[in-house]
């Protein structure tokens, strides 16, 4: 068969990514050859995928997570278009894994036909390879100002004949109005593909919700396929840092007697914030995101994460007083970690004619290195070791590189071929490698050293913590929730046979699109 389904949402962060992953895991466990797909993603949380030519490319982190739910190695076709915002007005365009352009509101219209053609071709290839492709929309299909050129939501559904379900987050309120309004703002041909709804993040007595579900069915002629409960343990692999609360996950009680407190600076253009999720899986480790300088003073470890706009975010650090708080933390001998863009900020100088085009600017001066930006983007998996011979895996996504370094500066890591990677000076650490802390032994040794430097002598790492196992538990939990709370028989009919032919039109509807 060549079945398919589009998971659309009433808003961004309504639950499209997790519902897509849950449906993928349910189908995979049932023995179906299933793959995920998102025509266009806008996110600075990306994963590195090795393409058919052997080169590294980028896709959205959520699609890499959905691939894992399908039991698949990530494929560039799973997310053919990735937009990485570098400012409020411009985004880098990553097409089939490769950065090809910078898009603004002014030139997006000219570029869009090429992006749509690439996305449609990728989906067509996947549908010849897999039994089922579960597609994720972007934002909301009711963004009627964008409908004429849409190839991600109903434009994709129309092109590929995909039945569509709409998921809404009841925790935000207004879910019934947003579901009804989503359908009612679509033109007749789009409405004909919207088969029903799923409610996400429900807490409480389902009986109290039932009258609303029944009324929604009466006024739209479309059923609700199920109600997913709010669950504490669904927080790994966030598509965007805004999906996090102030504290990541649900910190488990310490293995020893002390907690370890980690403060992560929530940069305006934070990228790959998922790097710190591995730290948050450790018992006794509390990881929180903050924009408050005062909150850095009490932290045992401060993390400067990746950034899509290193120089601009460094300027923001200085404007907000966070730069002073970071340097004071390091001056006190307390542990500091910079990852990718955060590592670059620790340099004495940054030479950037590429990303910000601001030329040379002073860094925080906490590591005796200089960073230079190259027009060619480094995108590749990373394999190596930490001293002494601790295996580490990660990935690199950056334009900046270490162009000058103190000859006596010890590296944090080594590439498999022996080349040094990153730097460490006292309690200040930095690396360009994302995902390094998903390597369990390295993470445990790093946190043990941090605890010792911070004076948390009662902190002890739990020897059996596995990040990969935690991710698998999360994916299995998503599959369980789909099986337990959704009408999977009805979903399967929808995937197999398409949207019902007798779905009613809900006025007023939008003017028909061409």
Task: For 267-276, write each residue's pLDDT tens digit.
Answer: 999 988 889 9
Cα(431)–Cα(339) distance, rounded to whole angstroms?
5
Q: Which of 108-112, 304-308, 477-481, 487-491 has the lowest mean pLDDT?
A: 108-112
Q: Report the domain count for the chain.
A: 2
Is the pLDDT assigned to residue 243 strictly greater than 60?
Answer: no
Is the pLDDT assigned to residue 244 strictly greater than 70?
Answer: no
The helix (run of H) or strand (run of E) holding residue 376 is strand 369-386
* CB distance 263 to 296 below 8 Å: yes
Q: Nearest-5° angle of CA 119, CA 27, CA 138?
A: 35
- The question of whether 70 is a catalytic residue gets the answer no
Q: What is the model's pLDDT at position 247? A: 72
- Mark whether 225 and 271 lie in a shared domain: no
135, 340, 398, 399: the catalytic one is 340
398 within some domain: yes
- Mark whether 226 and 105 lie in a shared domain: yes
Q: Are strands 46-50 and 56-60 parallel, antiparallel or unpaired?
A: antiparallel
R_g of the chain, CA atoms, integer Å: 23
State both tokens at 465.
């913590």
Three-state DSSP class for 49? Answer: strand
* CB distance 186 to 157 below 8 Å: no
329, 351, 432, 434: the catalytic one is 434
249 within some domain: no
Cα(428)–Cα(422) distance, rounded to whole angstroms?
11
- Mark whether 322 and 380 lie in a shared domain: yes
Q: What is the model's pLDDT at position 318? A: 97
423 within some domain: yes
Q: What is the model's pLDDT at position 245? A: 55
Residues above pLDDT 70, as percent of the chain: 97
- Mark whether 182 and 83 lie in a shared domain: yes
Report pLDDT digits (tens) over 42-58: 888 889 998 888 888 99
503 within some domain: no
Cα(395)–Cα(386) distance, rounded to whole angstroms?
15
- Mark whether 188 and 291 lie in a shared domain: no
With cut-offs at 50, 70 and 90, classify the pLDDT of residue 238. low
φ, ψ at 494 (rounded to 5°): -65, -45
DSSP state of 241: G
- Mark whether 114 and 52 lie in a shared domain: yes
- Mark whether 429 and 487 lie in a shared domain: no
Mean pLDDT of 363-377: 96
pTM over 0.75: yes
343 within some domain: yes
253 within some domain: no
CATH code (residue 48)? 3.40.50.300
- The question of whether 434 is a catalytic residue gets the answer yes
110 within some domain: yes
- Mark whether 436 and 480 lie in a shared domain: no
CATH code (residue 394)? 3.40.50.880
Structural domain range at position 228:
3-234+472-495
334 within some domain: yes
- Mark whether 284 and 412 lie in a shared domain: yes
Residues above pLDDT 90, as percent of the chain: 76
- Mark whether 183 and 273 lie in a shared domain: no
- Mark whether 206 and 316 lie in a shared domain: no
- Mark whether 167 and 268 lie in a shared domain: no
Mean pLDDT of 484-513: 92
């Amino acid at each position: 068969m060549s079945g398919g389904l589009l998971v659309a949402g009433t808003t961004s962060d309504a639950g499209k990514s997790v519902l897509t992953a849950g449906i993928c895991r349910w189908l995979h466990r049932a023995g179906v050859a299933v793959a995920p797909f998102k025509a266009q993603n806008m996110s600075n949380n990306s994963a590195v995928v090795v393409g058919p030519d052997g080169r590294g490319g980028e896709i959205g982190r959520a699609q890499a997570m959905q691939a894992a739910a399908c039991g698949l190695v990530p494929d560039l076709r799973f997310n053919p278009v990735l937009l990485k915002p570098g400012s409020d007005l411009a985004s880098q365009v990553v097409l089939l894994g490769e950065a090809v352009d910078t898009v603004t509101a002014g030139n997006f219209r000219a570029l869009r036909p090429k992006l749509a053609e690439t996305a449609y071709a990728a989906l067509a290839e996947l549908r010849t390879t897999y039994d089922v492709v579960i597609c994720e929309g972007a934002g909301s299909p009711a963004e009627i100002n964008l409908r004429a050129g849409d190839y991600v939501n109903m434009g994709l559904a129309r092109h590929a004949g995909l039945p569509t379900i709409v998921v809404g987050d009841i925790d935000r309120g207004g879910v019934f109005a947003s579901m009804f309004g989503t359908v009612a703002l679509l033109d007749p041909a789009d409405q004909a593909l919207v088969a029903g709804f799923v409610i996400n993040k429900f807490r409480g007595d389902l009986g109290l919700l039932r009258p609303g579900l029944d009324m929604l069915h009466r006024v739209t002629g479309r059923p609700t396929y199920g109600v997913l409960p709010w669950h504490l343990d669904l927080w790994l692999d966030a598509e965007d840092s805004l999906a996090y609360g102030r504290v990541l996950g649900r910190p488990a009680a310490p293995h020893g007697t002390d907690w370890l407190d980690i403060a992560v600076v929530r940069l305006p253009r934070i990228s790959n914030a998922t790097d710190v999720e591995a730290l948050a899986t450790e018992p006794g480790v509390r990881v929180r995101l903050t924009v408050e300088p005062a909150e850095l003073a009490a932290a045992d470890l401060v993390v400067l994460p990746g950034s899509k706009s290193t120089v601009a975010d460094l300027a923001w650090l200085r404007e907000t007083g966070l730069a002073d708080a970071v340097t004071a933390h390091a001056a006190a001998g307390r542990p500091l970690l910079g990852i990718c863009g955060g590592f670059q900020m620790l340099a004495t100088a940054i030479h950037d004619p590429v990303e910000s085009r601001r030329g040379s600017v002073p860094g925080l001066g906490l590591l005796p290195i200089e960073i230079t930006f190259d027009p060619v983007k480094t995108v590749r998996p990373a394999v190596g070791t930490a001293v002494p011979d601790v295996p580490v895996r990660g990935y690199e996504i950056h334009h900046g590189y270490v162009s000058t370094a103190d000859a006596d500066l010890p590296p944090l890591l080594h590439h498999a071929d022996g080349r040094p990677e990153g730097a460490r000076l006292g309690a200040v650490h930095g690396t360009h490698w994302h995902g390094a802390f998903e390597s369990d032994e390295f993470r445990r040794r790093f946190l043990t050293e941090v605890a010792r430097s911070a004076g948390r002598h009662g902190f002890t790492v739990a020897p059996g913590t596995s990040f990969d196992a935690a991710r698998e538990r999360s994916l299995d939990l998503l599959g369980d929730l789909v099986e337990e709370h959704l009408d999977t028989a009805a979903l399967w009919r929808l995937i197999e046979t398409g949207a019902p032919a007798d779905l009613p039109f809900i006025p007023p509807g939008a003017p028909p699109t061409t």
